[in-house]
Amino acid sequence: METHEQCGTTNEEREYYSLSARVYSKLAPLYDLTVYGIRPLRREVAALTDVGAGSRVLDVATGTGEAALAFAENGAEVVGVDLSEAMLRVARRKNRFRKLSFVHADAAQLPLSDASRAKYFGGARIWIGLKARRPRRSSGLMLLSGSMSRDVELGILFADLAGYTALTEAHGDDDAANVAERFYLLARQSLRGPTRFVKPIGDAVMLAGPAPTLLLESLLRLRAAIDAEPDYPAMRAGLHVGPVVERDGDVFGATVNVAARVAAYSRSGQTLCTARFRDALGDCPWVALAPLGPVRLRNVLDPVELFEVSDAGAPISVYAVDPVCRMRVADGVSAFHCESGDRVVVFCSARCRDAFLAAPGRYMSEAD
């Protein structure tokens, strides 16, 4: 059994160390099983930070090393410190990283030289581990009822498929679900830099990132991918930037709400951004921004100045829209069409053409 008689200067401290040694010697073999449910949360903590290759992390009270392992997996140089040698033995058995080591020490008396202290604490940001039940804040991180949160500034993008309800009505639930799943995949494949796919929301996706330029590049890549999809709905999108709260991988706050409202205000095939997002972009000669002036958005108190966003170097896409299912159809490509008055209306399929011919009045406004 490990002992800590050498630790502490008072009887009370020595008793604490002795009790800690006895408890964790028995708990160590079973510890990972007892906290198995929060293992993904420890990895989420590492993902929420910008810790990676070239970073140094000192994980105090590392226990069996789960958090230290998560940071090491991201490429950081990590030292895990714990009072329990039994817990550290478990951590060392799991260690497969050359730049991760574990040290048996008291957090209040870290065995670090002056050079090591400067190495690990010269520019340190300290976060509080998963040990508190009450909310605590440290360097922008907050632990609340087992959920990790932090306050940051991010660019937020909402993009959805225009006419998705009509598509579902015309083609059925299965085809609509396939279209949505393809949209999610294209969004994930379009990500640039630190931009991340936050979540799908029905026929929409939410992306977020600390670099507005790379978020916009992700959007333009997504738009190009959608333009290349045959017989696919058009996309519309909204962009905003500002303070948000990140919690368990999701993002919340007024900035998110405004981005969603901007997307809802946009038309089919259109991308809009706020003046704040435009200012955050800086000099981007490859982007064209057309001012639309201040606009009142639903449930947003003050008018929001909007700009239409387009890729200055991208070719102009030419397509027609099926008035029944609202999917884009390349001009001159579809074999399904009919004459309506003095114009030719094109369709994605015979099914949509026949639906139009059966009730043209229902769809005429969509064909205009």
Tell me, yes or no, whether 6 lies in a domain: no
Residues 155 and 270 in one domain: yes
Tell me, yes or no, whether 142 lies in a domain: no
pLDDT the model gives residue 341: 63
pLDDT at 281 over 50: yes
pLDDT the model gives residue 363: 65
99, 134, 169 — which closes off a domain? 134
Percent of the chain at pLDDT exceeding 90? 27
Tell me, yes or no, whether 139 lies in a domain: no
pLDDT at 174 over 70: yes
pLDDT at 263 over 90: yes
CATH of residue 270's domain is 3.30.70.1230
pLDDT the model gives residue 112: 60
d(CA 329, CA 320) in angstroms, rounded, equals: 5
CA-nearest of 256, 269, 357 to 321 is 269
134, 164, 193 — which closes off a domain? 134
Residues 256 and 175 in one domain: yes
Query: Which range, 2-16, 43-57, 148-162, is most confident?
Result: 148-162
Tell me, yes or no, whether 255 lies in a domain: yes
Structure tokens at 337: 């069409």
Residues 161 and 47 in one domain: no
Residues 209 and 298 in one domain: yes
Mean pLDDT across 1-5: 43
Average pLDDT over the chain, rounded to an integer: 77
Distances (CA, A) of 245 to 138, 143, 200: 14, 12, 18
pLDDT at 235 over 50: yes
pLDDT at 127 over 70: no
Give residue 325's domain range: 319-367
Residues 174 and 301 in one domain: yes
Residues 130 and 153 in one domain: no
Which carries the bigger pLDDT value, residue 53 or residue 335? 53
pLDDT at 134 over 50: no
Mean pLDDT across 276-287: 88
Q: How many CA atoms within 13 Å lie on the side-chain side of 259?
A: 29
Let me know: does 191 contact 197? Beta carbons within 8 Å. Answer: yes
- Which of 1-15, 62-76, 160-174, 310-324 is predicted with the least confidence, judged by mean pLDDT? 1-15
- pLDDT tens, residue by residue, 304-362: 999 999 887 665 565 677 666 666 676 555 566 666 666 777 776 677 677 777 777 66
Mean pLDDT across 73-83: 86
Tell me, yes or no, whether 143 lies in a domain: no
pLDDT the model gives residue 120: 52
Residues 268 and 341 in one domain: no
CATH of residue 105's domain is 3.40.50.150
- Which of 27-31, 146-150, 268-272, 325-329 is predicted with the least confidence, judged by mean pLDDT? 146-150
- pLDDT-based confidence at 239, cuts 50/70/90? very high
- pLDDT-based confidence at 154, cuts 50/70/90? very high
pTM over 0.85: no
Residues 67 and 182 in one domain: no
> What's the total number of domains in the chain?
3
Tell me, yes or no, whether 46 lies in a domain: yes
Tell me, yes or no, whether 141 lies in a domain: no
pLDDT at 123 over 70: no
pLDDT the model gives residue 331: 57
- Which of 7-11, 170-174, 257-261, 270-274 is predicted with the least confidence, judged by mean pLDDT? 7-11
Residues 324 and 259 in one domain: no
- pLDDT tens, residue by residue, 8-29: 556 666 676 777 777 778 778 8
Which carries the bigger pLDDT value, residue 339 or residue 72? 72
pLDDT at 68 over 50: yes
pLDDT at 128 over 60: no
pLDDT at 78 over 70: yes
Residues 163 and 279 in one domain: yes
Tell me, yes or no, whether 3 lies in a domain: no
- Which of 137-146, 216-225, 253-262 is predicted with the least confidence, judged by mean pLDDT? 137-146
pLDDT at 132 over 70: no
288, 311, 334 — which closes off a domain? 311
Which carries the bigger pLDDT value, residue 85 or residue 282? 85
Residues 111 and 167 in one domain: no
Residues 157 and 304 in one domain: yes
Query: Which range, 18-32, 128-142, 233-247, 315-329, is most confident?
Result: 233-247
